[in-house]
Amino acid sequence: MLCPNTVVCSYKYEIIDGQQRIATFTLLVSCLLKTYKELKVEASTSSDAANEAIIKGRIEKLSERFIEFSQEVQRVVTPVEVLELSRADQSFYKELIRCMNPSASRDSHNKILHAYNSLNNTIKSIIDSHTRIENKIDDLEIVQNILDNDFTILHMVTGSRDDAFRLFQVINDRGTNLTDGDLLRAKTLELLEGFNQQQDAVEKMWDEILADPPTDTKNYLNWIYESCQGIRPQQNALFDMFLDKFFPQNQQISLTLHHAQQIHETVKNIYEDILKCRKLLQGQWLYPEQQPVTGWDRSRLNILLVELRHDLSIPLFLAAAKLDHRLFSEIVQMIERTFFRYKLICNQHATPLKGVYYQESLAIRQDPNSYNISGLKAKLQNLISTKAIDSTFMNALNMLEYKDSGGNKPLKYFLMTVEYHYQWYKNGATGTPVCTDKSRVYDFAGTSIEHMYPRNAGNSVLDSNLEPLKNTLGNLTIMDPAQNTLGGNDSFTSKTPLYQKSSVLLTQEIGAKTRWAQTEIDDQKQLLTDAALKIFLP
């Protein structure tokens, strides 16, 4: 603990280490108080004045010791909180221990609430075995005695924040479960001691940065490090490596105002990148809506990061966010097509792909204004030419089948993407693959995979020759879910009117056929794979 200024005869301590334990301790007391207040109402209702008085006295003593006490300064009496949490948690905590049912708005609130509910349920389980109020308050007294006699707080007071933060690092440099974000927060605030304006601003930003679950925050910090440094931090070394690369000021013997401003600017950049990480994980576009980037173009980011879960690309997108929105969109689509071919279908190792992302992230950050997308395209093309050649890609596509057990997102993505680029393919497939009609944006979750020969064919439709082919690529297309439901397991000829009315060009062409047999299935598979060889390139 740190003991700063003295107020009259009371001390106000800043807790450097042990905040969670002490907060949990006071949460337990607040649960005792809540139970006592309920018992006080019970005693009052039954006109049990003796027990009501006992309970009232205990409530007053516990409240003054652990929740709030009154302090007189120059004949003015003011209430004082016994424990105050961080700015981000104090309001929620204050309302919670007073049974005001606050709403949780961040991960730390959820954890505090979970602890409170768990403790409250435990207290209730202790007294619920009794019917007499005397037995209940006796058991609560036992809990109080345990708190007084069996819990120990090691009280170590330092005279300055510098000493306190050094003590904090020593205590927490032994494999304890403080997160890398917690340690970075503590270290940057330590470095800014004496620079109150910068320290206050940085503290607020760290409160926002650490609002997510710890695992998410760790991922975000790793992605930011990778995007800025072009390598992944060593396992269990994120704090040290992040501190070394992002806050070299910690090597200075004494810091100047310029150093403090640099630290503030760095934390601000980290905070802004954290906000981008949150958006990217949700598949949200990082720019205002503006032409020539359309809704279809923006949807590709969601498809790549949410539906296909290509988190590996996030460090590159953090860097690419420094570019014009048109270049960003081109990069998204280039990565999308390459990732599907290289990793999802040809199942090549991700390390070379990640290496390309790192190289381009550094190139963008070094000089965003002169960055040329052709370098990225050439490197991705080289991966395709060496690791995902046409024959490998085609053979893997031919193995792609619908699975009754689920896991068909890659298959749906493939059919949808071929459809989007099908007109370009029919027009000669020259240049970079493009979607010629961006007014059609199919909802990924709502679009369904259609089996031309039914997946569950009845006796009147059953064809033993087609049964082995029903889940293969040549027997599949995409349809609006409502149309798919209407068609069901009907015969091909009865479904052709639905196909002809579809907005999907591939499905329209299938609807123009008069029969659906093995030859048509083979031809359709050949069409899809031929188109894929042209479409799925950087």
pLDDT per residue as tens digits for the range 394-426: 999 999 999 999 889 999 999 999 999 999 999
Confidence bin at 449 (pLDDT 50/70/90): very high
Q: What is the pLDDT of residues 135-167, one digit of tens each?
A: 999 989 898 888 888 777 767 677 665 566 666
Assess whether the previous peptide bond of 292 is cis (omega < 30° from 0).
yes
Question: What are the residue boundaries of the structural domains of the chain, listed by start?
Answer: 17-150, 179-281, 313-387, 409-533
pLDDT for res 79? 85
Say which residues have a Cβ less than 8 Å from residue 444's Cβ, sequence separation at least 6.
302, 303, 307, 412, 413, 416
194-200: long-range pairs with CB below 8 Å, 24+:
194/255, 195/255, 195/257, 195/260, 198/260, 198/261, 198/263, 198/264, 199/260
For 243-302, the DSSP string reads HHHH-GGGG-SS--HHHHHHHHHHHHHHHHHHHHHHHHHTT--SS---TTS-HHHHHHHH
- When mean pLDDT is compared over 88-97, 158-167, 252-261, 294-303, the highest value belongs to 294-303
Q: Is the pLDDT of residue 257 over 60?
A: yes
Tokens of 189: 């605030």
Say which residues have a Cβ less than 8 Å from residue 8's Cβ, sequence separation at least 6.
71, 72, 73
Tokens of 513: 């056929």
Between vectors from CA 63 to CA 59 and to CA 69, what angle results, nearest 5°? 140
Q: What is the pLDDT of residues 97-106, one digit of tens each?
A: 998 999 998 8
Using alpha carbons, select from 366, 391, 360 the residue that is nearest to residue 378: 360
Mean pLDDT of the chain: 89
pLDDT: is 68 or 171 the higher one? 68
Confidence bin at 446 (pLDDT 50/70/90): confident
Say which residues have a Cβ less than 8 Å from residue 335's Cβ, sequence separation at least 6.
304, 310, 313, 316, 380
SS3 31: helix
- Backbone phi, then psi, for 299, in 5-degree steps? -65, -25
Please give the Cα distance from 424 to 434 (Å, whole number).
6
Please give the Cα distance from 280 to 274 (Å, whole number).
10
Q: Is the pLDDT of residue 198 over 90?
A: yes
Q: How many helices (H) and strands (E) in the chain?
A: 22, 6
Please give the Cα distance from 538 to 536 (Å, whole number).
7
* Rama region for 516: left / alpha / beta (φ>0; ψ in -120 to 50; rest): beta
Q: DSSP secondary-structure letter at 9?
A: T
Contact (Cβ atoms closer than 8 angstroms) between residue 189 and residue 203: yes
- Backbone phi, then psi, for 177, in 5-degree steps? -95, 20
